[in-house]
Amino acid sequence: MTATALYKPVSWERARNRAYAWGLLPALAVLLLITLVPSLALIISSLTPLSLVDPAASFNFADPLINFRQLMHDERFLNSATTQLQLSFLTVAMQLGTGVSLALLLNGASRQLQYLRSPFLIPMLIPPVVVALIWKIIYSPDISPLHRLIESAGFSLDALTANPHTALWAIAVADTWQWFPFTLLMILASLQMLPSEPLEAARIDGANRLQILRYIVFPHIRPVLLVCGLFRLIDSFKAFPLIYILTDGGPGNVTEVSNYYGFTQAFNFSYWGYGSAIAVLILLGVFALSLIVSRFGRSRHEQH
């Protein structure tokens, strides 16, 4: 048998895919190391009564579901889950409303509008801890320019983060200020792709602005609104820096969401197994929302 017969030519596409695979292998290994290993450790610890008081319990799997059963009867955890849902609803609704309103105002091809769009992106580029410190100053009556302005007008305003009726709203406003640029960009991009023919036809038929918005603009941007809402719903579970710096879960436990409650259980009371169980439930919820986003994106792609 000749050497030519032993040689099997490799197609260019197969060689390219092999090169891609070898090139991605180091990055995938690092990604698995920093995501899979901590995730497995989290799941394993959630199945044990691990605490710093009893380190030997890290390998006690006699009753692996005890933490999850206790969570179902933990009123403080159930209250934190309700608070999380309230905060998520507030932030998503406010961010979508602000994003749509500003996108409609800034939609256009003029150079002035292009210059006006850039400042609105600044909050999204600021680290969350810095955002929390900015709003800490705004909400502190002694040094707040907002309180000084209201007092100069002859009115008085209590500390918003110290009032049980306004603390959660204060967190939602701060979170909305940081992340509404995301919805603004997405919706503005969708408006920029809106074909001009339906708009011109509607104007010729005598439709006013409200009718154009209702029957042409909003049906066009509805899929983008849904995707933005789902993405912001997922990210609403990450309001930890704002809560930690602004309210510390208070007053009382009015702003104590699930991830903050898990933090206090794990690091304030050293119940690592219990805190890990809370984190696992949050992880499952976020994973379910991610599946909804991916399936919706896939269905939209198939429709087009």
pLDDT of the residue at 109:
67
Q: Which residues contact 300 (CB under 8 A, 6 or more apart)?
A: 223
Chain-centre distance for alpha carbon 46: 24
CA angle 44, 240, 81 (to 5 degrees): 70
Q: What are phi and psi of 51, to 5 degrees?
A: -155, 160
What average pLDDT score do residues 221-249 get?
90
pLDDT at position 57 over 90: no
pLDDT of the residue at 297:
59
Q: Report how far apart, in Å, the C-alpha atoms of 63 and of each of 47, 66, 176, 273, 282 are.
A: 8, 6, 42, 12, 21
Domain boundaries, the chain: 81-105+121-303
What average pLDDT score do residues 242-252 get?
92
* pLDDT band (50, 70, 90) for residue 289: confident
Please list the alpha-helical segments (H only) found in the chain. 3-6, 12-46, 66-72, 75-106, 111-117, 122-125, 128-139, 145-152, 167-192, 196-204, 209-212, 218-235, 240-246, 258-263, 272-303
pLDDT at position 108 over 80: no
Instruction: Tell me what percent of the residues of the chain surpass a pLDDT of 70.
Output: 93
What is the C-alpha to C-alpha distance for residues 277 and 67, in angstroms, rounded to an integer? 6
pLDDT at position 277 over 90: yes
**Which tens digits make up the pLDDT trace of 134-190?**
999 999 988 888 888 888 888 888 889 999 999 999 999 999 999 999 999 999 989
Neighbours of 274 (CB within 10 A): 27
Q: Please tell me the pTM assigned to this model.
A: 0.83
Tell me which residue of 76, 131, 74, 71 sits closest to 254, measured CA to CA.
76
Q: Which fold has domain 81-105+121-303?
A: MetI-like fold (1.10.3720)
Q: Which burial class, exposed, middle or buried, applies to 280 when counting CB atoms under 10 A from its CB (0-12, 13-18, 19+)?
A: buried
pLDDT of the residue at 69:
94
* pLDDT band (50, 70, 90) for residue 304: low
What is the C-alpha to C-alpha distance for residues 286 and 259, in angstroms, rounded to an integer? 12
* pLDDT band (50, 70, 90) for residue 298: low
* Mean pLDDT estimate for the chain: 86
pLDDT at position 28 over 90: no
User: Regarding predicted confidence, which is higher, 34 or 295?
Assistant: 34
pLDDT at position 210 over 80: yes
> How is 130-194 classified by DSSP, letter by letter?
HHHHHHHHHH-TTT-HHHHHHHHTT-----GGGSTTTHHHHHHHHHHHHHHHHHHHHHHHHHHTS
